[in-house]
Amino acid sequence: MFKWPKRGDDVTGTEAFRDIGDLKGQVAVISGSTSGIGLAMARGIAARGGDVVLNGLGDPSEIERTRSELEASCGVRVRYHAANMMRGDEVADMVAYGRHELGRVDILINNAGVQHVEAVEKFPSDKWEQIIAINLSSTFYATRAAIPIMKAQGRGRIVNIASAHGLVASPFKSAYVAAKHGVIGFTKTVALEVARDGITCNAICPGYVETPLVQSQIADQARARGISKEKVVEDVILAAQPTKQFVTTDQLVGMMLYLVSDLGASANGASFAIDGGWTAQ
């Protein structure tokens, strides 16, 4: 019977499993990591020994509390950069800051994202521009800045947090769906360009995760439809998700830890749906 290898097992083929998830000495830059999925990614990396550059909006004293708590509890270096993901120059500066402050950039997680739900004929131009800038263009600016650093190191891992909406559409989310489909196309292109440089570029496509981004949608939908939040979760939000369960941030962190490990070296240009079966339909 197959036995999962344990540390110290002397069995051919198990060597590669020993260090999976060990990120000591590595540096990760994570956009939009003051909340939700990005913050979970930061915690996951710090818990495995990696240093982290946090980024995102929020109350400065709360961000500082998160930063220092993460640093103390995990014994790693954690910094914060306030780049606005709507500004390409600030995005590039965040990546440069990671290299300057912490010495390297091994992992880039392009995670920052926002949503706006409205029929396309009424969709406000400023919301369209904002979603494309934060959800798509910031991924380009950060990746462009990180690749030369990763090439010089001979290794790098780029993980783009796309969405099930990068693979399929839903009505009233035109900008978000367009941006997330764009992220997947960008992921594939970058993967091909860096394939010989020890760098990989992949996308994770979560289904619904109960973060502030989704909690506000639940509240909006409940108001718009005049039904309870519980009913919105059951009938609207999780309608497309066959498991009828939210995806958890830990489950996404698990996928990311695989992708950034040495075992993830052949996963390149791929989109990994972690969506309870949503996009299998």
Closer residue to ligand NAD in complex, CB, 182/206 = 206
Residue choice 21, 27, 28, 36 for contact with ligand NAD (CB under 6 A): 36
CA–CA separation, 55 and 86 (whole Å): 13
Binding status of residue 213 toward ligand NAD by CB under 6 A: yes
Query: Cβ of residue 139: shortest distance to ligand NAD, in angstroms?
Result: 9
Binding status of residue 278 toward ligand NAD by CB under 6 A: no
**If we measure between CA atoms, which residue out of 273, 207, 204, 203 comes closest to residue 246?**
207
Binding status of residue 269 toward ligand NAD by CB under 6 A: no
The answer to whether 176 is a known catalytic residue is yes
Q: By CB under 6 A, which span of 2-10, 61-69, 206-214, 220-228 interacts with ligand NAD?
A: 206-214
- H/E element holding 143? helix 138-153
CA–CA separation, 64 and 83 (whole Å): 15
DSSP string of 117-136, one letter each residue: ---GGG--HHHHHHHIIIII
Site for ligand NAD in 88-117 (CB under 6 A): 111-114
Closer residue to ligand NAD in complex, CB, 211/279 = 211
Please report, for the chain, how many H helices and E strands are present, in that order. Answer: 9, 7
Closer residue to ligand NAD in complex, CB, 15/62 = 62
Residues with Cβ < 8 Å from 151, sequence gap 6 or more?
A: 194, 197, 199
Among the listed residues 80, 141, 176, 208, the single catalytic one is 176
CA–CA separation, 28 and 70 (whole Å): 14
Catalytic site positions: 176
Binding site for ligand NAD (CB under 6 A): 32-38, 55-58, 84-86, 111-114, 134-135, 161, 163, 206, 208-209, 211-214
